[in-house]
Amino acid sequence: MDLISVRELAKKSIAASCLYYLYDDWRTGRQIALGNIETESGARHSLMSTKDSISYIRKVYNDYLAYGRVQKFQGRIAEIGPGDNFGVALLLLTHGAEEVDAIDRFYSKRDHDTQWKIYSELCSEEGLENPFLGDPGEITLQGLGYHPGVAAEEFFAARREYYDVILSRAVLEHLFDPIGALRDMAKSLKPGGILIHRIDLRDHGMFPNHHPLTHLTINELIYRRMTSESGRPNRILIHRYREWLEESNLDGKICITRLAGIKNEFKPVCWDDIPNRTRNKALTAVQQVRPKLARNLRNVSDEDLAVTGIVLTAKA
Ligand SMILES: C[S@@+](CC[C@H](N)C(=O)[O-])C[C@H]1O[C@@H](n2cnc3c(N)ncnc32)[C@H](O)[C@@H]1O
């Protein structure tokens, strides 16, 4: 039986799923130790048409502008966890950035023909001559410094540079120490520099046939062993980001984009601006798992447990 069939079998039971994730996390840790950093995580574009890839890249870029409330980004930028494509970096560089550092603990699998089509189309839409020094890709894009195999936690602790902007999308939930990394990112900002992180707090399909907050019921130590090497969701929730923001010297805010038990994402808002009906549905979802919550989450409020997506912005 191959690993995929084992995984399919395990999905049926929470305990079996946990055993699978414990094994898979250990296996990934060994692979990383041996220098194999290839992953399916972030391999988004191989399954998309060129048109859909371009729309996704433009959406990510435009969301960053909207979250940062700016017309364009300038100076030195760090993009954490770009995944398999560097179109966002290309747009940043085309519209004002001097340099972009792309930092990724893993190497998301990518198909070079697919990537070539995306870069060619993006360059043609942007009226760009040729920003690449050779075959289009992350190595040849002028102004891009690519750092595969370097965790954000390590990169910012080593503080190679100071940045005007540090951004990420769907990444901080995969870090093994997002709060430590944020502390170091704050120290890596130039005066007036900004952080923009969009964070997905859901379980990323870990327990697909169960309650959407099932991952919050797993014992803390076991959960860590299931997730820290493989980059599965770290279960750091909104209250931890809020505590970090309050103790930082940054001027920032956290807006909500998703709630438990609510299918669709919404534009970033604060809790009070979410319709009562939506909030109550999410609070009911929390109450269903509250009796089984992991010990370290029992003191967290229902409102905080209900939040499954946020945008964190902060200025130095
Ligand atoms: C879900 S993908 C998101 C990719 C891309 N930002 C997007 O929106 O499509 C998560 C990315 O975070 C990266 N990642 C996971 N853990 C990391 C860490 N500790 N430091 C830096 N990057 C990490 C993964 O390799 C992957 O590229």
* Contacts (Cβ under 8 Å, ≥6 apart) of 209: 11, 12
Distance from residue 10's CA to the centre of ligand 1 (Å)? 25
Task: Determine if ligand 1 sits within 6 Å of the CB of residue 250.
Answer: no
Q: Is residue 264 part of a domain?
A: no
Identify which of 118, 86, 126 has the alpha carbon closest to the alpha carbon of residue 104.
86
* Per-residue pLDDT at 3: 63
- Is there a domain that residue 102 lies in? yes
Domain count, the chain: 1
Whether 139 is in a domain gets the answer yes
- 47, 106, 167: which to mutate for ligand 1, most atoms within 8 A of CB? 106
Q: d(Cα 166, Cα 76) in Å, to the nearest integer?
A: 9
Q: What is the pLDDT of residue 1?
A: 54
Contact 182, 171 (CB under 8 A): no
Q: Could you tell me if residue 289 is inside a domain? A: no
Query: How many CB atoms within 10 Å of residue 241?
Result: 23
81 vs 105: CA distance, rounded Å: 7
- Classify residue 82 by its DSSP letter: -
Report whether 173 contacts 230 (CB < 8 A).
Answer: no
- In-domain check, residue 153: yes
Is 134 contained in some domain? yes
**How confident is the model at residue 160, as a pLDDT?**
75
* Angle, helices 50-68/87-94, rounded to nearest 10 degrees: 50
Whole-number pLDDT of residue 11: 73
Within 10 angstroms of residue 267's Cβ, the number of other Cβ atoms is 11
Q: Which helix (H) or strand (E) holds 22?
A: helix 14-33
Q: Are 245 and 315 in contact (CB under 8 A)?
A: no
In a domain, 261, yes or no: no
Pocket test for ligand 1, best of 174, 229, 311 (most atoms within 8 A of CB): 174
- Which residue(s) pair with 217 in the sheet? none
Cβ 198 under 6 angstroms from ligand 1: no
Q: How many CB atoms lie within 10 A of CB 266?
A: 16
CA of 231 to the centre of ligand 1 (A): 8
Q: How far apart are CA 264 and CA 241, in angstroms?
A: 23
pTM, entire model? 0.94
**Is residue 207 included in any domain, yes or no?**
no
Which pLDDT score is estimated for 108?
87
Give me the tens of pLDDT residue by residue for the chain, a chain 316 residues long.
566 666 676 677 899 999 999 999 999 999 999 999 888 877 888 889 999 999 999 999 999 999 999 999 999 999 999 999 999 999 999 999 999 999 999 998 888 889 989 999 999 999 998 888 888 888 899 999 999 999 999 999 997 789 999 999 999 999 999 999 999 999 999 999 999 999 999 999 999 989 999 999 999 999 999 999 999 999 999 999 999 999 999 999 999 999 999 999 999 999 999 999 999 999 999 999 999 999 999 999 999 999 999 999 999 9
Query: What is the structure's pLDDT at 111?
Result: 86
Predicted confidence at residue 254, as pLDDT, reads 98
CATH number, domain with residue 165: 3.40.50.150
> Nearest 5°: phi and psi at 100?
-125, 130
Number of residues that this document lists for the chain: 316
Domain that holds residue 174: 37-200
